[in-house]
Amino acid sequence: MKTITVRYFAVFRENAGTTAETLTADVATAADVFEITRERHRSAEPAGHCKVAINDELATWQTAVNDGDTVLLFPPVAGG
Amino acid sequence: MLLVTADSIDPDALRKRLCDSAAGAYVSFEGWVRDENEGQTVLRLEYEAYEPLAVKEGEKILAEARASYPILHAACVHRTGVLEIGDCAVWVGVASAHRDAAFLAARFIIDALKVRLPIWKKEYYANGDSGWVNCEHCAGRNHSAA
């Protein structure tokens, strides 16, 4: 089991009703974290449209997560 | 320079920062808030950014532009917060010896930052709805795309 801090932005923040929460779960990758949060907050946004960062570094869904990491979940971006 | 700011953008002041006696060309791009999107009348926008990564990724884009085109200076400023119709949401400026490089680099920078920076745009519509742009599958989107 790992304890992960998850931070939410934009529509993910609105869906979750919070900017961050702590997960304690058996997760190996960023994708595992995303799946748990999708189920918990009933988000239908596919991972392919989203981005992820771990401890303030952009990552991929296959990037391993470690105990104590902060995972940032970014919904589809729309700058400009 | 890549700046994410809640303050209004002043293109004239930013332009002066790129002045260089070796520059024969200056190209700028301003993205303005428009009153319509996908058939909906837009009243205002709200931008949210994750600044630490937006700045880091934006500086990377500017470095890529400098490596790809013979330019002297490149800079970008992106707004956060609530913006009204006509407000400047993003400014890109490039100075170079000749115009081709400045045009190409400015185009590269605005195209890259739209898809790479962790910045999100929420539109508020005349019919009372609102929606996050590019987020068709999000549960929180309470209108369907036209």
pTM of the model: 0.92
The reply to whether B81 touches chain A by the CB within 8 Å rule is no
The reply to whether B144 touches chain A by the CB within 8 Å rule is no
Express each pLDDT in B97-146 by its tens digit. Answer: 999 999 999 999 999 999 999 999 999 999 999 999 987 655 444 443 33
User: CA-nearest residue of chain A to B118?
Assistant: A77
- State the maximum Cα–Cα separation within chain A, in Å, rounded to a whole number: 40
User: CA-nearest residue of chain B to A17?
Assistant: B140
Phi, psi dihedrals of residue B72, rounded to the nearest 5° = -95, -45
Q: Is the ipTM of this complex over 0.95?
A: no
The reply to whether B115 touches chain A by the CB within 8 Å rule is yes
Greater pLDDT, B134 or B27: B27
Residue pair A54/A65 in contact (Cβ under 8 Å)? The answer is: yes
Residue with tokens 């869904």: A61
Q: Is A5 helix (H, G, I), strand (E, B) or coil?
A: strand
User: CA-nearest residue of chain B to A58?
Assistant: B53
Contacts of B138 (CB under 8 A, 6+ apart): A11, A12, A15, A43, A44, A45, A75, B132
* Candidate from B78, B122, B134 with C-beta closest to A76: B134
Express each pLDDT in A3-43 by its tens digit. Answer: 999 999 999 999 999 999 999 999 999 999 999 999 999 88
Interface with chain B: mutation pick from A6, A9, A11, A71, highest number of B CBs within 10 Å: A11
